[in-house]
Amino acid sequence: MEKSRRGGSRGKRPAIIALAVILFLAAAFYLPPGRSIVAACREDALMLKLVRASGAEFESVNITGWVRADESAGDPEALAERAAEQLGILLPGHKTEKWQNQYACGAKVEGAVTGGRTVSVLGQALLQPEGERVSHLMISLDGMDNGEALFYRQKVYKTLGAFGRQSHVALTYRGKIESGLSREELLACAEKIMELAGAPVREKTVKDNLVSLTGFSPLFSGGMTYAGKEVNLNVALRSSPAEHVTYVYVATPVIFTEY
């Protein structure tokens, strides 16, 4: 009898463990942090798909975040160094680059995260005509792979949230096509990517060897107002005659890095 009870107890354990896993996954999916992670993973997969739809090979991700800092944030140097410390890049012997003119002043701290990826933190204060000072904080990480981008995106959001209430984080996925496309091919390729994302074009720039399209896709969360219009997807292609290649940029909500 005792042996039978022990056998029955062992038989129930896998079912209990399976139920616990199901409940954990359900909670992770429905609670806000879990939903945020699921959404970020889905958007990452979509960004990679859009880059590759152009025929490009994925290269890296740039993360750039910015926020209007609270009045208690302090001067630009203190703001930049506090944010760098929170990111974990404020190393002994670091250098802070400072600048000032009659309209604004600022300070920049540069460092690196695991893997040697470059990080820059910029604190800036604009001097208003009324004498009021408006401060902003910007964080930029370059050369990330898409797996790292998911982690550092949340870290940048958290850091910005400690200094202001309305933060924005832009992700720009970059790829390269091993041939130089013509202007007509650049436009056709950019339009194809926008169509694949279900994003009607709201802004278009065609200049020399560069095409940039901006729109709003229901497949991405959030967005921002740009030129008076709500947007959350920016696609740009730039051909390089000297290198005989074409660079592809897919960003949400907009490209916030040099291209």
Give the tens place of pLDDT for each residue, 12-35. 566 666 665 554 444 444 545 445
pLDDT more than 90, % of the chain: 56
pLDDT at residue 34, rounded to an integer = 46
Average pLDDT taken over every residue of the chain? 85
72 and 24 in a common domain: no
133 and 23 in a common domain: no
Could you give the CA distance from residue 110 to residue 118 in angstroms, rounded to a whole number? 7
**195-202 contacts: CB < 8 A, separation 24 or more?**
196/49, 196/50, 196/53, 197/46, 197/50, 197/233, 199/232, 199/233, 202/229, 202/231
Domain housing 148:
34-252
In a domain, residue 257? The reply is: no
Could you give the CA distance from residue 51 to residue 4 in angstroms, rounded to a whole number? 60
Average pLDDT over residues 134-143: 94
Confidence of residue 166 (pLDDT cuts 50, 70, 90): confident
Cα-Cα-Cα-Cα dihedral sign, residues 99, 101, 106, 112: negative
> At CA 136, angle to CA 121 and CA 103, rounded to 5?
110
In a domain, residue 94? The reply is: yes
In a domain, residue 179? The reply is: yes
**Does residue 184 register a pLDDT over 70?**
yes
75 and 11 in a common domain: no
Phi first, then psi: what are they for 182, rounded to 5°? -75, 170
pLDDT at residue 6, rounded to an integer = 52
**Does residue 163 register a pLDDT over 90?**
yes
Phi first, then psi: what are they for 240, rounded to 5°? -120, 100
205 and 96 in a common domain: yes
Output the CA torsion 231→35→66→140 (10° steps). Answer: -100
Task: Quote the strand ranges of 85-218, DSSP E.
Answer: 96-100, 104-113, 117-127, 133-144, 167-177, 201-207, 210-215
